[in-house]
Structure 1
């Protein structure tokens, strides 16, 4: 699904962080094969990182546009 766009709200991002924390707790408490939990946790962290990277890019773009507008109006 390369190139897909998904809107993630702040509440949803918080829920992803919570789910990753729960998976960490389950992983720590597990005594058997935990490959599935490790893979699920890695997947969640990958999504969280992509959302945060996108947010930083959007903030940077917005800041640059505002700076350019301010420079033009000066």
Structure 2
């Protein structure tokens, strides 16, 4: 079985699946990536297709705007 090489999402260094920090090249890059998620630098932009979730979001928005 060959190890496929990918690029670290943070620094773009080549990393293989046998690396303990995979898909990152190091713990440092993993923490940088986590910090970007926590600070809101990354956003998921795909539309929401779950009707129940959409209803819940609309209800929550309506509650927020009433206060």
TM value normalised by structure 2: 0.32
Name whichever structure is richer in strand by fraction. 2
Bigger relative contact order (CA 8 A; separation at least 6): 1
